[in-house]
Chains A and B, each alone.
Chain A
Amino acid sequence: DSGVTQTPKHLITATGQRVTLRCSPRSGDLSVYWYQQSLDQGLQFLIQYYNGEERAKGNILERFSAQQFPDLHSELNLSSLELGDSALYFCASSVGTPNTQYFGPGTRLTVL
């Protein structure tokens, strides 16, 4: 158990819908990262937050957004969902940068 929690574990929804994925980092970790893993693209970095502030953006689509709250949990919002958004979404956290990143169990999103 990494200490990083993600909810929900599974999510099935329809094209065009909007969903929110939630992540709670390990106690004391200030950095939160979101990653997407799909069969065709592999693992990709989406976005990083540090202590509530956006620190870096990767291959995040404009239809996706994220935020980190004062209690350090983070949410990833995916809107206007397409079939190609079906993937595993991982959250990771670390105490600072660069540092070991601890991964949550992931949320499996299926868009039908």
Chain B
Amino acid sequence: KNEVEQSPQNLTAQEGEFITINCSYSVGISALHWLQQHPGGGIVSLFMLSSGKKKHGRLIATINIQEKHSSLHITASHPRDSAVYICAVSWVSGGGADGLTFGKGTHLIIQP
């Protein structure tokens, strides 16, 4: 079964701390996505990666294809970063099928 594992499930940190969330997957992928979901439900796409590293503001996402592993980092964390962060992948398949398989999410709370 194709699976996506995230860790930690829950993370509470102090404002300013460096945050790392990890994601591993079982077989070859065409792309890995990091998503953010705030209370109230809306889902925002943060990154889509197929190799290397991407940076947007205080967020950095990396992927190691050989290790089948990705990390999401938040530098200088802030209470507004509190949300659920979700790793999702689209598996290698023919015909352009790329519905996502999701991890269970990491509940992040940043305390002032």
Interface residues of A, Cβ cutoff 8 Å to B:
2, 31, 33, 35, 37, 42-48, 50, 55-56, 58, 88, 90, 92, 96-103, 105-106, 108
Contact = CB atoms under 8 A, between A and B. Distances in A.
B95 A106 contact: no
B100 interface: yes
A48 B48 contact: no
Interface string B41-85: 111110010100000000000000000000000000000000000
Contact of A35 (B33, B98, B100): B100
Given A43-B102, A108-B41, 13 more contacts: A31-B96, A37-B41, A42-B102, A42-B105, A45-B100, A46-B99, A48-B98, A56-B97, A98-B48, A100-B45, A105-B41, A106-B41, A106-B43
Contacts of A90: 43
B41 A56 contact: no
Contacts of A47: 99
Interface of B: 30-31, 33, 35, 41-45, 48, 50, 86, 88, 90, 93, 95-102, 104-105
30 contacts: A31-B98, A33-B100, A35-B100, A37-B41, A42-B105, A43-B100, A43-B102, A45-B99, A45-B100, A47-B99, A48-B97, A48-B99, A50-B96, A56-B93, A56-B95, A56-B97, A56-B98, A56-B99, A97-B30, A97-B96, A98-B48, A98-B50, A98-B98, A99-B48, A100-B33, A101-B33, A103-B35, A103-B43, A106-B43, A108-B41
